[in-house]
Amino acid sequence: MAKRYWLMKCEPSAYSISDLARDGETSWEGVRNFQARNLMRDEMSLGDPVLFYASNADPSGVSGLATITRAGYPDTFAWKQGHKYFDAGSTPAAPIWFMVDVGFVEAFAATVPLATLKATKGLEDMKVVQKGSRLSVQPVTKQEYDIVVRLGRKTRKTVENTA
DNA sequence: GCCAACGTTGGC
DNA sequence: GCCAACGTTGGC
């Protein structure tokens, strides 16, 4: 299957690219949106590249790169009574929610802010730059992915050069 | 912290 | 099947 490219959002107060750098790998549980669920369950494959997006951050934007280390499997947190991701409707026999595992690839020295994404040619079709887009797992094109990676590494050079 | 935009739920 | 009410997301 052809490699696909993704953007995944997370609030840094919950989990940041630094946390991922420290852990190396993490499970991506707790997604409770059907569209995002379908993407994780059906479309993500091992090794797919991921833009790691920090939402509700200062600034919000892409803070680094990750990769899918395990394709979609049932979200076991949905079965844990009392857990914040518990959902009585989901059972091991008939799981409703799915998650993937994500591995650390690279942390940008500085976040590529949403404003920069919005202002960059070639990214105008990204879901994340569109008003009111709340989907926490989004497909991106290879072209979009490459542009964002370039922006992220440019940021790093700038920081290094001025350090 | 505010609030607009969105997805989901539930009454009818 | 419509749509109002509600809860949540997420930029600012």
Residue at token pair 């994780």: A40
User: Structural domain tally of chain A?
Assistant: 1
Residue whose pair of structure tokens reads 């919005």 in the numeric block: A118
Residues 6+ apart with CB under 8 A from A123: A117, A129, A144, A147, A148
Which stretches does DSSP call E strand in chain A?
5-10, 25-27, 49-54, 61-74, 98-113, 137-140
Query: Other CB atoms closer than 10 Å to residue A42's CB: what's the count?
Result: 10
A163: how many CB neighbours lie within 10 A of its CB?
Answer: 6
Short-list A96, A11, A100, CA closest to A49: A100
- CA of A36: nearest nucleotide by C1' is B7
> Quick one: pLDDT at residue A154?
84
Name the pTM for this structure: 0.91
**Tens-digit pLDDT profile for chain A (163 aa)?**
679 999 999 999 999 999 999 999 999 999 999 999 999 999 999 999 999 999 999 999 999 999 999 999 999 999 988 888 999 888 898 899 999 999 999 999 999 999 999 999 999 999 999 988 899 999 999 999 999 999 999 855 555 544 4
For residue A61, which nucleotide's C1' is closest to its Cα?
C11
* Residue-level pLDDT at A163: 42
Q: Which of residues 15-54 of A touch strand B (CB under 7 A)?
A: 33-35
Residues near A43 by beta carbon (within 8 Å), at least 6 away in sequence: A4, A139
For residue A106, the model assigns a pLDDT of 97
Q: Which domain holds residue A19?
A: 5-162
Count other C-beta atoms under 10 Å from residue A112's C-beta.
26
The domain spanning residue A53 has which CATH number? Answer: 3.10.590.10
Q: Is the CB of A134 under 7 A from strand B?
A: yes
